[in-house]
């Protein structure tokens, strides 16, 4: 869709590049500096929701504090007559999600994508920022194929409590067991998400499978997935060990930092496999078998159902928002 308007007397908005539940992203032109930009504008109906507006403004502030080659640069932000916006560097638009449509990545390419993603995540963590929504759709590439992590819309500073225990944010398939059961976000949750992306990049599908949100959440909480070696027996066992260590449902077994995980990706070493691996395929239509107990916690069925209820409520709210947006667009 082609549009023609100037935002804040400076940013010419051209084609709509993408629409989400909360915002639209435009192909833009900075008339003052004479350069291509991407402009993210909060949808009017979302701008009137205080919490959504705060998250949008927080995204701009947090992303702007990161000056890193693997993070999408934020050039400016503001409000034009009640329309909050974020101005970012313009990229070709290709994402890891697009690349994975063609199947698993070659191992060297997968390593590069993962190490550069960890560089971005590590830079965010060093600045005290948790991303909380690492997934293929938020991993973009520049013209040279280098990673650019984007969408800090639900990110938060590690030393703040904007998200309380029990509140679940993020894309379910990439959430750690801790987040699904309502524990506060931590560094290891971002690393778990990177590991899910790594498994997906190497196997061609995500580790955790489920035909409903509830069955998917149960599989994640119980730490059950088909071992990567069973899917890709040709892979270096040491590389597999790095991915599966970060997937462990026990936070104490995961990597303590992005730097540590990156180091082991570049120089794989023998790492004991997680104790909760499931040997063989995991049935997704029925409830999976119970996993061995972990030292830190073993949530019961009641805890899992209660925690997943929060996920379902969040998804339902998002679905209603999207549906209402579709009605608005067809009405116009």
- The residues assigned a catalytic role are 133
Please check whether residue 194 is in contact with residue 245, taking contact to mean a CB–CB distance below 8 angstroms.
no
Structure tokens at 10: 């400076």
Tell me how far apart the alpha carbons of residues 18 and 104 are, in angstroms, rounded to a whole number. 25
At a CB cut-off of 8 Å and minimum separation 6, what does 206 contact? 173, 196, 199, 200
Distance between first and last Cα of the chain: 13
* Count of Cβ atoms closer than 10 Å to residue 212 Cβ: 12
Q: Which of 241, 15, 260, 16 is nearest to 122 (CA)?
A: 260
Sign of CA dihedral 104, 109, 115, 117: negative
Q: How would you label 17-53 residue by residue, b for 16+ Cβ within 10 Å and e otherwise?
A: beebbbbbbbbbbbeeeeeebbbbbbbeebbeeeebb
């Amino acid at each position: 869709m082609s549009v023609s308007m100037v935002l804040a007397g400076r940013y010419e908005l051209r084609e709509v590049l993408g629409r989400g539940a909360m915002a639209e992203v435009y192909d833009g032109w900075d008339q003052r500096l004479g350069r291509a930009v991407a402009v993210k504008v909060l949808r009017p109906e979302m701008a009137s929701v205080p919490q959504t507006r705060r998250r949008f403004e927080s995204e701009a502030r947090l992303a702007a504090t990161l000056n890193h080659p693997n993070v999408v640069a934020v050039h400016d932000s503001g409000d034009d007559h009640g329309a909050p916006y974020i101005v970012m560097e313009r990229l070709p638009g290709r994402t890891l999600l697009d690349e994975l449509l063609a199947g698993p990545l070659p191992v060297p390419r997968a390593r590069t994508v993962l190490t550069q993603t960890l560089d971005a995540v590590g830079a965010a963590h060093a600045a005290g920022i948790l991303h909380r929504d690492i997934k293929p759709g938020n991993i973009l590439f520049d013209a040279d194929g280098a990673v650019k992590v984007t969408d800090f819309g639900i990110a938060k500073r590690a030393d703040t409590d904007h998200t309380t225990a029990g509140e679940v944010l993020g894309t379910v398939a990439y959430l750690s067991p801790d987040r699904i059961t309502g524990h506060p976000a931590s560094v290891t949750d971002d690393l778990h998400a990177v590991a899910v992306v790594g498994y997906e990049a190497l196997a061609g599908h995500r580790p955790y499978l489920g035909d409903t949100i509830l069955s998917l959440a149960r599989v994640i909480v119980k730490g059950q997935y088909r071992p990567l070696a069973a899917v890709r027996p040709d892979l270096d066992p040491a590389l597999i060990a790095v991915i599966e260590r970060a997937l462990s449902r026990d936070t104490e077994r995961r990597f303590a930092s992005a730097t540590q995980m990156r180091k082991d990706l570049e120089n794989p070493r023998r790492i004991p496999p997680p104790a909760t691996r499931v040997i063989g395929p995991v049935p997704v239509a029925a409830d999976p078998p119970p996993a061995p107990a972990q030292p830190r916690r073993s949530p019961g069925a009641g805890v899992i159902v209660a925690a997943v209820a929060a996920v379902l409520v969040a998804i339902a709210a998002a679905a209603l928002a999207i549906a209402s947006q579709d009605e608005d667009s067809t009405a116009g």
